[in-house]
Amino acid sequence: MAVPPAVPPTDRADLRRRIDQVLAGFLRQRRRWLLAVDDEALRPVAAALEAFVLGGGKRLRPAFGYWGYRGGGGADSPAVVSALAALELVQASALIHDDLMDGSDTRRGEPSIHRRFAGQHRRNGWRGAPDGFGAAAAVLLGDLCLVWSDELLHDAGLDAGALRRARPVFDEMRTEVTVGQFLDVHAQYAGDTSVERASQVARYKSAKYTVERPLLLGAALAGAPQSISVGYSGYGLALGEAFQLRDDVLGVFGDPARTGKPAGDDLREGKRTYLVASAYRATGDTGRALLDARLGDPTLDETGIDQVREVIVASGALAATEARIADLTERALAALVPVDIEPEARQVLRDLAVAATTRAG
The rounded average pLDDT for each run of 10 residues, N- to C-terminus, in the chain (361 residues) is: 39 86 98 98 98 92 97 96 98 95 88 97 97 98 98 97 97 95 91 90 90 97 97 96 93 82 82 92 95 91 94 96 96 95 94 87 64
Strands 110-111 and 106-107: antiparallel
pTM of the model: 0.90
Distance of CA 268 to the CA centre of its chain: 20
Q: Which stretches of the chain are assigned E, i.e. beta strand?
A: 106-107, 110-111
The C-alpha atoms of residue 332 and residue 350 are separated, in whole angstroms, by 9
Q: What is the pLDDT of residue 12?
A: 63
Provide the residue ranges of all domains of the chain, joining segments of one domain with +. Answer: 10-358
Distance of CA 195 to the CA centre of its chain: 21
Q: What is the pLDDT of residue 359?
A: 76
Radius of gyration of the chain (CA): 21
Distance of CA 171 to the CA centre of its chain: 16
Q: What is the pLDDT of residue 266?
A: 85
Q: Compute the 3-state secondary structure of the chain and give helix, strand, coil in percent, each to the nearest 5.
A: 80, 0, 20
Q: Check: CATH 3.90.226.10 for 10-358?
A: no
3-state DSSP assignment of residue 111: strand
Q: What is the pLDDT of residue 11?
A: 62
Q: How far apart are the first and last CA of the chain?
A: 38
> Going by C-beta distance under 8 Å and a sequence separation of 6 or more, which residues neighbour residue 124?
none
Beta-bridge mates of residue 107? 110
The C-alpha atoms of residue 19 and residue 110 are separated, in whole angstroms, by 22
Q: What is the pLDDT of residue 1?
A: 34
Q: What is the DSSP letter of 298?
A: T
Q: What is the pLDDT of residue 4?
A: 38
Contact predicate 198/277, CB 8 Å:
yes
Query: What Cα–Cα distance (Å) separates residue 170 from each residue in 6, 46, 173, 203?
Result: 27, 25, 5, 17
